[in-house]
A and B are shown apart, each in its own frame.
Chain A
């Protein structure tokens, strides 16, 4: 801790605090009480969109990575093509393709309009979730491919020699080791995914970024909501980084 508090740092921190106090006193923050409930709702929507899309995307990424690392060519080639297409096109375009494309296609089929799912499909968030999950799966599929490949083949042979079945080898040896190797990258990718979530505001999902845009449109206050929003994302990114550091320490324990 002593290494951090060097004299010049104390000056810098004091300057930053001064700037924060100046901003708090002189900038316009009167809009906060009115929009606080909406902002909390938006924050929650950002968090669950992020959590769900990371979860679903990762569940898709494991088979995608496995197919590329060890699958036959008729599984590896489509998985590779999927990852290339997802990684080669902007996420905004993918979101719009899913939302406007599927959104204009579904109503043409009466059986979809009459189905139980229609009230859900008429909202925007399922399309946002699908696009975000597929995007995460595409990036992570590539990461998992490398992770699966980096597990030494001897480990797998040894497991088989101990009489592990193929499934048990995968579940007890291959996957845990690949995960431990992929975790540092996964943490960074999750922060990138957090930074991608505001894009869904363009398809009318009211998450935290959309709330800030609304404050800007309603009150013509530009900087204050944006600065607060940046702070919120910084805090979320910090929490994610800490969470992954904790997870890494737990997972990597047995490896070294």
Chain B
């Protein structure tokens, strides 16, 4: 079916053979790597949201010590390269866990790349999410929260019923940016040897010497991920902005 295309572009057939899904081709490996990247990105983004929500609430409502410690956390994470944080947190996390296990009389364990990746990227995401969510929560008019309190809602209920829905449309552009950063930061785990998309690509490219084919293919996969998630976030944002006046 594609013969006419191959005839006009001789290199294409070889590239297509290299990218085939079955074992002589490397397409299956790339897709497995992409799935790993997505799982890590999802996990890290989720963990980042949890840390970010706690951090934002701590920065806004916590005591002076909490606020200063959170400021140190967000400043350091945002000024030090992710790569170094990943290495530091990876080694320190493994060491710490094993020391705790030793104290409890257990044998040391090897942390799985997946858990470590999610944990480390989650901590990095958390710092950025803290700032995004803090800004969004601050932008909710005080009167709305005071009104909710006057109606007798508890702090948790105020957050769930008033603060969260009111701040979400303001936070979504920042959060969508964070999600894009999360998908791209998964590539950094290639350097600590976790087999996500970028590392799989490099292995495939290195063993076949077809660098352009594989790096371009991987680039296309990443691009599809970001474009699709851009669409999804646009759709979610439109949904949550329904109640707001159009600018």
Contact = CB atoms under 8 A, between A and B. Distances in A.
B128 to A, nearest CB: 11
Given A96-B202, A209-B84, A233-B79, A90 B187 contact: yes
10 contacts: A8-B68, A9-B64, A88-B223, A88-B226, A89-B184, A89-B219, A89-B223, A97-B216, A195-B80, A230-B84
A199 B223 contact: no
Nearest to A194: B81
Interface in B72-92: 76, 78-85, 87-88, 91-92
B78 to A, nearest CB: 8
Max count, chain A CB within 10 A of own CB: residue among B78, B80, B186, B219: B80
Nearest to A191: B79
Interface of B: 64-65, 68-69, 76, 78-85, 87-88, 91-92, 180, 184-188, 190-191, 198, 201-202, 205-206, 209, 211-212, 215-216, 218-219, 222-223, 226-227
Interface string A76-112: 0000000011011111111011001100110000000
Contacts of A94: 219
Nearest to A16: B72
Contacts of A234: 76, 79-80
A12 B92 CA distance: 23
Interface string A213-243: 0000000001100110110011001100000
Given A12-B68, A233-B84, A92 B215 contact: no
A246 to B, nearest CB: 18
A215 to B, nearest CB: 13
A202 interface: yes
Interface of A: 6, 8-9, 12, 84-85, 87-94, 96-97, 100-101, 104-105, 191, 194-199, 202, 209, 222-223, 226-227, 229-230, 233-234, 237-238
Max count, chain A CB within 10 A of own CB: residue among B79, B206, B212, B216: B79
A130 to B, nearest CB: 14
Given A93-B198, A97-B215, A209-B81, A6 B64 contact: yes
A93 to B, nearest CB: 5
A104 B211 contact: yes
B212 A97 contact: yes
Contact of B211 (A8, A90, A100): A100
B131 to A, nearest CB: 11
B184 A226 contact: no
A93 B186 CA distance: 11
Dominant SS at the B interface?
Answer: helix
B209 A104 contact: yes
Contacts of B223: 84-85, 88-89
Nearest to B92: A223
Contacts, number: 112
A195 B85 CA distance: 11
Contacts of B201: 93, 96
Given A91-B184, A223-B91, A227-B88, 6 more contacts: A8-B64, A194-B81, A209-B81, A209-B83, A230-B80, A233-B84
Given A8-B64, A100-B205, A93 B81 contact: no
Contacts of B84: 198, 209, 226, 229-230, 233
A236 B226 CA distance: 31
Contact of A8 (B65, B80, B202, B206): B65
Nearest to B91: A222
Contacts of B68: 8-9, 12
Given A100-B211, A234-B76, A88 B198 contact: no
Contacts of B78: 191
Given A88-B227, A229-B84, A97 B65 contact: no
Max count, chain A CB within 10 A of own CB: residue among B78, B84, B227: B84
Contact of B222 (A89, A101, A202): A89
B184 A97 contact: no
A4 to B, nearest CB: 10
B152 to A, nearest CB: 34
